[in-house]
Amino acid sequence: MNRVIVVGADGSAAATAAVEWAADDAARATARLCIVHAVDRSPYEIAKFSNPGPDDAVTLSAESVLADAERVARKRQPGIDITSELFQGAAATVLRGQAGHAGEIVIGGRGLGGFPGAVLGSVSTHVAGHAHGPVVVVRSNPDTAYGEIVIGLDDYHAGEPALAYAFEQALLRACTLRAVYAWQPPTHAHIPESAHDLGEIHDAQCRITAGILLGWRQQYPQVQVIEDVRRAHPVDALAGVSTQADLVVVGSQGRGAIGTVMLGSVTLGVLYQARSSVAVVRP
């Protein structure tokens, strides 16, 4: 794992929770924490704001945000290595650009730009949908611990980076790893559900699950794994177990070209419905 964890700070309560989460993860992984704040001057196309300088009001405010975030991180984990960086540009673009040298990007679920009552911000969905590698969207209190990491399984090789991240998190946290494989019976309008042998289908899904996890169990013998095969929609299954999870990890197979389509419908659904923090790991 790259030993740099990047966290976005904007002075909001959600971003403060993200800084605390990232500081804890940096301490566990012996990683350097880099706190990033982006100054987007495009809304202020007037002379007072559009000319960047060390003493202009926007820069001074941004430096204050970074200083406050660094204090939060040092108070949370006094022993970790912390740096901070101020960038010019849109927050989503700046954070996405950090993916190349970061082992993990951490962001709050909704920052200062979010709409009241919104469960997920546009920056969160953009970064999670476009940045390669783990992007953690912090949705829960870092001080609440259940001792369980959840990984959503599929039978595609592209899900392997998510599995690697989930096992590593479980190892670092000394947590149980719950591997959730959700399946639904074939749906055909002219064939009644009773015509399918649901027990046989379930057994087949259990065998698939065991096969996916076999090599990972051997690689991480210290991690206790629960194989949780459910007849449910994947979003419903993962959202259901998220209430007692420290983190839900999902891969993303989305291949769309624009916006949140890159996330895939299941990943986006989990981001919106999960009660815990969510890590999206794009291959």
pLDDT digits (tens, 9 = 90+) for 31-46: 999 999 998 876 555 4
Helices of type H across 174-233: 198-219
Q: Helix 265-273 vs helix 234-241: angle between axes, to the nearest 10 degrees?
A: 30
pLDDT for 253: 64
**Is 162 strand, coil or helix?**
helix
Whole-prediction pTM value?
A: 0.86
pLDDT for 77: 97
pLDDT for 157: 57
pLDDT for 196: 60
pLDDT for 254: 53
User: Tell me: the pLDDT tens digits for 198-216?
Assistant: 888 889 999 999 999 999 9
pLDDT for 156: 65
Domains of the chain, start order: 4-138 (3.40.50.620), 148-282 (3.40.50.620)
Residues of the chain with pLDDT under 70: 1-2, 42-55, 111-121, 155-158, 187-196, 253-263
Pairing of strands 4-8, 82-88: unpaired
pLDDT for 101: 81
pLDDT for 120: 53
pLDDT for 20: 97
Helices of type H across the chain: 13-29, 47-50, 57-76, 91-97, 122-130, 160-173, 198-219, 234-241, 265-273
State the amino acid at position 251 in one-letter form.
G
pLDDT for 188: 59
Number of C-beta neighbours around residue 181 at 10 A:
22
CA atoms of 111 and 123, how far apart (whole Å): 8
Which residue bears the tokens 């300088």?
Answer: 53
